[in-house]
Amino acid sequence: MGLVDAVKALQLAGQPMAEAEKITPRQAVKDWTLLEQLNITVRNTGDETMQAVKGSLVGPDGITVKRAEQSYGTLRVGAEATRDFGIEVPSKFKSPQCQLTLNLNFTTATGKKKTRPYKLTHQFPVLTNK
């Protein structure tokens, strides 16, 4: 044991750094993805019952559709049903809107199978990565 040489200890330790000098700033997020839920309502405006109605949502290249297939069940004339679809829009997608297609497949009361495509334009918020 012995005495501590404080001057020698400080010389060996070097100069203390301020807290700001210890922090290295760097961007934490380079890419992001916008997740949106789309509530799409289908209404039977025809003159016969639609049975086993299935909706299939298709997006353009670059957009991922989640829960792309939904069952709307049976829709009598004038009836409607709403189902939730999800889309993922990556930061690289530059347009503030996209064209989606909802394909409805159903069977008529007489047993005839039909498919009807519907074009939907969806506007989403533009997020910038600055």
Q: Where are the domains of the chain?
A: 29-123
CB 86 within 8 A of CB 65: yes
Residue-averaged pLDDT of the chain? 80
The pLDDT of residue 19 is: 56
pLDDT digits (tens, 9 = 90+) for 71-129: 999 999 999 999 999 888 877 777 778 899 999 999 998 999 999 999 988 887 655 55
Residue with tokens 């799409």: 40
Residue with tokens 């949502």: 57
Name the pTM for this structure.
Answer: 0.67
The domain defined by 29-123 carries CATH number 2.60.40.10? yes
What CA–CA distance (Å, rounded) separates 40 from 116? 15
C-alpha dist (Å) from residue 87 to 57, 66, 67, 118: 10, 6, 9, 17
Q: Please, which pLDDT band fits residue 43 given cuts at 50, 70 and 90?
A: very high
Strand partners, 39: 84
